[in-house]
Amino acid sequence: AGMAGAFLMEIRRGAESAVLVIRYAAAELPSAPVEVSVCADSVVLSSTRLPRCPPQPTGSPWFIFFGLRYLAGFSVQVTGNFTQFWILICFLPSIDLVFTLRESLKPHKNYVFYCQSCGDIVVKDGKFLRVLPLPSENWSDLVEEWCCHPDPFARSTLHPQHGDCFLGDTFFLLNSGNESHLPESPENTRVICKRCKTMLGERVSSDTIKYYVTEVIVQLAEGSFSPTPRSQFVQSMVAQCLLELSSAKSTFRFTVKGDNGKTYILIWLLNSDTLLIESLGSSSSHSVFTLFGDIFMPSSGPVGTWNAVKVLYQPCIKCRNKDLADAWENDMGVHPLKFPSETCLELLLILGLSTTSLPPSLRCMNSFQV
């Protein structure tokens, strides 16, 4: 009695709708029928009859929820439409924005590339005269559709010269110069960190190296290295890739492939206008499931807010979902994303933990996991 319950709210900005899940462990709920009162600033669960919510002053922010239903054993879920939701958002902590790489890398500035895992310097004082976006990896496959004569680009390569930085969907292409961490053997194309031996990228040609965006942190040379927890960094960079590609190419289905050519995950981007709000409350129910895990610490305050992309996904390891993966492989509407194989497995684990942290009723959609 009198405890502030933990909750999870998923707000869709575009649809101006929300799903609210109030988190209580089964042992905390009374055996008598639970009565729910939705007031202007609270949702109250009680085993005794509740008084009517007091009338609200004219002009005060208030929210109307409908479709209330009790999900036996662990939560009450409220789905509803509401108005003036920006008033709710402005009283909450600031929102984490997805780092946009293409807007932050500028020519004629000095950058340092760090290994994301250990902080070792990979590229020191990288000053680029040109920072240019690359076309999609499968651009050459489409040339036959554009040209009525033999491929004019067949012998052309898009390799950066000294002072160039080319940006791909999931990687940077740099001129290798005299970098000492490159593989000595031409057969070994993997580029690894000298300190922690993490794979950072691969040699594309004798003078070109590819660094994956999930493996390096790029900062201005005058700054100092700012470590980021691995899980947060991978989520942020993958979310950025999904957002940029869906916006630029109207592509919403993706295959996540490793550097070994294997497909690890099928991802379907459901929406990118989601704001997630989570509170651990004062009850012990947060031990049941917590969406943000170690990221949600007491120092974050009583309520945490995050921008999020909502995806449906299917694992493809150990030949799972092979027929669907083959169908997506041959579909021109599906865009491939390539990362180191170890990172693909990390991403699959991150997705799985995110799914299991959700209430059971929100974890699946048709045959896909959420």
Render pLDDT for 145-195 as a digit per residue (tens, 0 to 9). Answer: 677 777 666 666 778 999 999 999 999 999 987 454 555 556 678 999 999
Which class for 32: exposed (0-12), middle (13-18), buried (19 or more C-beta within 10 A)? exposed
**pTM exceeds 0.85, yes or no:** no
User: Residue 248 pLDDT > 90, yes or no?
Assistant: no
DSSP-derived secondary structure letter, 140 = G
Strand partners, 172: 167, 211
In this structure, which amino acid lies at residue 81? N
CA geometry: angle at 76 spanning 72 and 79, to 5°? 125
Q: What is the pLDDT of residues 71-123, one digit of tens each?
A: 554 455 555 554 333 323 333 333 344 445 666 788 999 999 999 999 999 99
Rounded average pLDDT over 317-328: 94
Residue 297: pLDDT band with limits 50, 70, 90: very low
Q: What's the whole-number average pLDDT of the chain?
A: 76
Residue 44 has what pLDDT?
67
DSSP-derived secondary structure letter, 97 = P
- From the list 233, 265, 240, 239, the residue with the least C-alpha distance to 334 is 265
Q: How far apart are CA 135 and CA 158, in angstroms?
A: 10
